[in-house]
Structure 1
Amino acid sequence: MTSHNLHVSYTAPDTTKSFQHSIPASATNDPLVAKQAHLTALQTLVPKLQDEINVFLTARMEEDSKSQGQISEKEAKEEENYGEEVVEDE
């Protein structure tokens, strides 16, 4: 039984961040069952990893915006309406 890790590294000039989750080893000797268990674990862990990365990157973006001063009016409006369809009046 060998355990595996799901590992991602973020590297920027001023910081490095690692994200890691352990994929449990299968307790069976049946290769098909072990493969299914491994894939099931990945299906669960990948979205968790994505969420962690998104939280980290969002925080970094906010820090960058603060360090550069105020964001432009256009950027503020885009952020306010993020994820929503906006129909502008003409």
Structure 2
Amino acid sequence: MASPTPLNLHAVYTAPQASRTFEHAIPVDSATDAVAAKQAHLTALQSFVPKLQEEINVFLTERMEEDKKAQGQISEKEAKEEENYGEEVVEDDA
């Protein structure tokens, strides 16, 4: 019996200034029970997808911050949004 081929969950970010590959190896269950092997695979996939999303979000947030710094400024609206991030802001109409 041939050994199972390892599987990888990966995403690739490519831009003119940078590229990055995000990858997680998914263990292959060599159990003889095909249903159990599929369940194990799906369970692993289900746990790795949110981790991959989080890594990508962190990376992209860092890239956005670097881009803002490279531009030397952020707009007044963005500065106000960052200052009030996570808080409800009620603006006066009067």
Same fold by TM-score greater than 0.5:
yes
How many residue pairs align between the two structures?
A: 90
SS at match of 1:60: helix
Identity of aligned residues (%): 70
Whether 1:6 aligns to 2:9 is yes
Please point out which of 76, 79, 89 is paired with 1:76.
79
State the 1:89 CA deviation. 2.1
Alignment equivalent of 1:15, drawn from 8, 18, 23: 18
2:55 corresponding residue in structure 1: 52
Q: Displacement, 1:84?
A: 4.2
* Distance change in 2, residues 1:74/1:33 (3 Å): same
37-46 or 79-88, which deviates more = 79-88
- For the pair shown, which has the larger CA radius of gyration, 1 or 2? 2
CA distance in 1, matches of 2:77, 2:5: 51
1:3-53 deviation line (CA, Å, top 9, x unaligned)? 200010000011110000000001312111111111100111011111110
Aligned to 1:34: 37
Structure 1: any 5+ residue segments left out of the alignment? none
After TM superposition, the score normalised by the length of structure 2 is 0.87
Aligned Cα RMSD in Å? 1.3
Query: In structure 1, how many angstroms separate the alpha carbons of the residues matched to 2:34 and 2:88?
Result: 47
Q: CA deviation at 1:72?
A: 1.4
